[in-house]
Amino acid sequence: MAVSDPPPPAGLLADGAYESLRPGTALLRLATTHDREGVLDGAWWPRSRDPATELPGLIAALSERLGPVTRVGLDRDAWDELPTRITVEGRLVHVDASVVRDDTALVTRGDRDHFSLLVIPPDTPLPAARAAMADAVRAGNLRQAGQILVVTARDQTRPTGPRGQR
């Protein structure tokens, strides 16, 4: 989002593109879905599995676009030592851990407003990560996070035909 762009109306997601949250930390892409009818609201590509390194950048970027984040839910098995809370820019954010392995982060703004982000594994090759991020924010997407990761990884590893065509 350019500096001169007005903020989105309250409750709506801002336009987003591949934006570096902090050098070496993560990429975030949010959907422009004013009706929020898709399964996912965006995608996040953390650069490591260390929540102390990755969460502050994610929370700061989301708070800037969505308003104050109060909770983040992550898969306990996918991260190194998840804290129960983290302070970002002077605000306490609760971190919920589950064992669902559903490749999503659930972000709560306020008491009940939830946003679902596809979490792309840090070791994902760039082309597959970009494809997964684009699929996650595609209008009307009905695929779950795990399905998107499987399909984009498979599409990136298909053998190419003559002249590089698939």
pLDDT tens digit sequence for 129-156: 989 998 888 877 888 888 899 988 887 7
Predicted confidence band of residue 112 (pLDDT cuts 50, 70, 90): confident
User: Do residues 109 and 95 make contact, with C-beta atoms less than 8 angstroms apart?
Assistant: no
Q: What is the mean pLDDT of the chain?
A: 78
Which of 18-32, 71-85, 116-130 has the lowest average pLDDT?
Answer: 18-32
Would you list the DSSP string of 16-81?
Answer: --SEESSTTTEEEEE---SS--SS-SEEEEESSS-HHHHHHHHHHHHHHHHS-EEEEEEEGGGSSS
Which of 24-33, 81-90, 151-160 has the lowest average pLDDT?
Answer: 24-33
